[in-house]
Structure 1
Amino acid sequence: MWDVLPLRRLVDPKRPITYGIVQAGEDVPGGVPYIRPVDMTETDGVADPAQLRKTSLEIARAYKRSRVTPGDLVVSIGPSYGKIMTVPAELDGANLTQGTARVAPGRSMCGRFLFWALQSKLARSFWDASVGGATFRSLNLEPLSRTACPAPDLEEQRRIADFLDAETSRLDQTRVARSKQIDLLNERHLAAVSELVTPGISTDCRRSTDWPWLPAAQEFVRLGHIARVQTGVMVNASRKVSESDVVRPYLRVANVQDGRIDLTQVKSIRVERSAARLSTLQFGDVVITEANGNPDNLGRGAVWRNEIPEMIHQNHIFAIRPDPKLLSSDYLAAVLASVHGRRYFRFTSNQVGIATTSSAKVMSLPVPALALEAQLKVVNQAGQLTESQSYLASALDRQLLLLSERRQALITAAVTGQLDVTTASSGVRV
């Protein structure tokens, strides 16, 4: 039976568990690199050590207690927690921040075994029960130092580490392959739906966005000729409260996803009654987002179906109200989600500073001039493609989940002695 000891008893007594620099200052060329939680990937440590920010030599000397050497472990403790990496040779002498902690294995511990032990369910469950903070959940040094870790003899630790290095690598390769399948599936689905919605337009997302890309044989009409636009209300926190104010649910850019509206987190705001009236959404409106600081948000669209009555929308969302005799709301949403719609907003956006658009540019969107009956047929066909794609994507997502669960179970069983690694094989089958 193996001993199970708190982590603080398994580290080098001369280099106890510690966090790093509280304020690293400006990025200093030629300075000392330091590791932040954001620099760490979930499984592969720092992707590019050369891109780490650097602090001054003076600050680094003031925090020499948190200097790292090759073979040390770094654990992210806040604002995210639980990422673990082994310090590579090229980061010898680097430092940490307040959001990362150094774990220097003691002489009785194999660093690679400790790396896996801290990823076991035994450690993760303890951390999950110990973290504090409602918004930014962080792991303090005290519970980190109390993390229970199995401590077999050094030779057994090395055997387990060798086994997990090999077997998790196989699992990770399978996970990468499944992720690539999902990406390819999504790309093919986008191309297929785009060809239905805007036939004749190149569906290669990687091609140049040189204008114009519209085929001469296809007739188009500007969106402004078959719909009108409604702008949203701007929140003014310093505005004085008025007797005519009303409280209304408020649709934000974060609520609008590709082709759907997420209403799990809806805020309400106090606005002047007339402003609320002018920005209230109606059934069948197509909401289109501005970037609002994130270029990926630009031009996202979804149909509003009056899920919440009296919903108003913010000024970074345009509400398009199609002429019901000329344009289907669902067809317009499909145009926005197509390669054509995405390329239009990328090409026409203001690229100086934050990518953005305007109501004039939105209403200048070229929409294929299809009869309403043809639009509805396209929407139906696109819906069938999406249903098939969703089924396949869900199957691949389930495989990814099973692979993650298998990986976690394998690590836990190996480091706790439940699995004899001298005869075991992970047998990756999903």
Structure 2
Amino acid sequence: MTQSRIKDVARINLRTLPEDTDPHYKFRYVDISAVDGMGHVSIPDGDVSFSSAPSRARRTAPAGSVLVSTVRTYLQAIAAVPCHESNLVFSTGFAILEAGRKVDGRYLGYYCRSQQFIDEVVSRSTGVSYPAINPGEIGNVPISPPSLEEQGRIADFLDPETARIDKLIDRRKIQEGNLAEKSYAAVSEILVPGILSDPAGSWPWTWLPKAANDRPLVRLGYVCRLQNGLTVDGRRDVSGDVVTRSYLRVANVQAGSVALDSVTEITVPRDVADRSTLRPGDVLMTEGGDLDKLGRGTVWRGEIPDCLHQNHVFALRPEPARLDGDYLALMTRTLHGRCYFESTGTKTTNLASTNSSKILSFPIPLPDVAVQRKLAAQAQKVLEECEVATRLLIRQRALLAERRQALITAAVTGQFDVSTASGRNVTDGVQP
């Protein structure tokens, strides 16, 4: 194979919309975020006009051209331009490669997805947080293509083999979704029996089954106290009796867990800290966020001693003799919890919010606290089993993606003869 450079076999950024393009020209804008690490392109649903599109919406390309993200290329946002009935315009964050006479377009696409190409681009990129490469520098990346006939054979080999791996990965994603649905349904039915099969509640709780005698509906405020957090104020006087402590932000509170990899400290007057200190057993809820995550609770176990919380994070403190914290946190993850918070939340374009009044009005089935603990343990067991299975599926997806990448790299760099090799061994031992 003769060593060449990318610019010797392909044209880079050949087509660009001029600044005098008709302002009413319609197209689908494809940003870098629309290309995933497996080389799949998600075309947006709606058209945009040239006048309203981002200034980066300038690149055009025929189907089969290769998109290479020039920013953080190690994330592998690299793909072939798909065929589409709409006009497609791409971000200037892409370098767009159109194959010349010396290279098969499909082979070029696979070569740009090879580890050899990605490593070379990364080594030529500059910057720390967002390393990037100039499109012209991509043209200097070496390539040693075999004959056009051999390039075609390599592409013919990789097309079905990568499609087979992609199908297995998609099946794993479906299985992960099924597990999530199973755990959601199981927890809902354990804590609110009949909610999936026999809703018969009265307005406004129409999704609830008729309350059982041993599980009366009780508003949360009757069995729980809500503690507001501190307001972050840079102008606050911190010259007197003050303390410096860690405090939780909205980003630290997840559904069913707390993320403590990035916890901020704050200096506040001691009396403010006393009013905003978390206690083990508190149930944390966030004031705002995505609608489907609104109101989801997690129990604070005292992971950080004397930790404070921001005012956008509510701390619910159950009465120990009447309400179990784990039971409450799990109740927010049931169908009942989702219906309540999604129906009462204040919605904006991208986010939703709740408030202390709505949280304290949350109606919960309230059996004896010993029964609550038993139900919470049953629900937690189901969640843990599903989480173990989900982690295994995620690991399988990662291994399949690694094998796909290794197969592409080996094929385009001539590490084996594709005319005699079978890529089926990349999925040996992986059941569909």
TM over 0.5: yes
In the alignment, what sits opposite 2:98? 104
TM-score, normalising length from structure 1? 0.87
Q: More deviation in 233-242 or 186-195?
A: 233-242
5 Å-filtered alignment, 1:169-248, equals 169-202=163-196, 211-218=205-212, 219-239=216-236, 242-248=239-245
1:337 aligns to what SS in structure 2?
coil
1:77 aligns to 2:76 (yes or no): no
Distance 1:246 1:143, change over 3 A: farther
Deviations 1:240-285 (A, max 9, x none): 6544443321211211122111111112233343322211111110
In the alignment, what sits opposite 1:299? 295
In the alignment, what sits opposite 1:335? 331
Distance 1:58 1:234, change over 3 A: closer
Distance 1:256 1:132, change over 3 A: farther
Percentage of pairs with the same residue: 38
Name the CA distance, whole Å, in 2 between partners of 1:259 and 1:39.
29
In the alignment, what sits opposite 1:3? 2
1:151 aligns to 2:145 (yes or no): yes
Distance 1:194 1:63, change over 3 A: closer
Letter in 1 for 2:376: V
Q: CA deviation at 1:384?
A: 2.1
Deviations 1:129-154 (A, max 9, x none): 44444443434435533433331111
In the alignment, what sits opposite 2:356? 359
The answer (yes or no) to whether the contact 2:26–2:87 under 8 Å persists in 1 is no
Q: CA RMSD in A?
A: 3.3
5 Å-filtered alignment, 1:82-97, equals 82-90=76-84, 94-97=88-91
Unaligned runs of 5+ in 2: none
Q: CA deviation at 1:305?
A: 1.0
1:258 aligns to 2:258 (yes or no): no
Name the CA distance, whole Å, in 2 between partners of 1:393 and 1:148.
41
Distance 1:387 1:355, change over 3 A: closer
Letter in 1 for 2:302: N
1:246 aligns to what SS in structure 2?
strand
Q: CA deviation at 1:28?
A: 5.3
Name the CA distance, whole Å, in 1 between partners of 2:186 and 2:53.
58
Q: More deviation in 178-187 or 2-11?
A: 2-11
TM-score, normalising length from structure 2? 0.86
5 Å-filtered alignment, 1:96-135, equals 96-135=90-129
In the alignment, what sits opposite 1:423? 420
In the alignment, what sits opposite 1:51? 46
Q: CA deviation at 1:49?
A: 5.8
Deviations 1:165-198 (A, max 9, x none): 1110111011111110111011111111221122
Q: CA deviation at 1:102?
A: 1.5
Letter in 2 for 1:196: I
The answer (yes or no) to whether the contact 2:38–2:76 under 8 Å persists in 1 is no
Name the CA distance, whole Å, in 2 between partners of 1:295 and 1:227.
24
The answer (yes or no) to whether the contact 1:20–1:97 under 8 Å persists in 2 is no
Unaligned runs of 5+ in 1: none
The answer (yes or no) to whether the contact 2:5–2:140 under 8 Å persists in 1 is yes
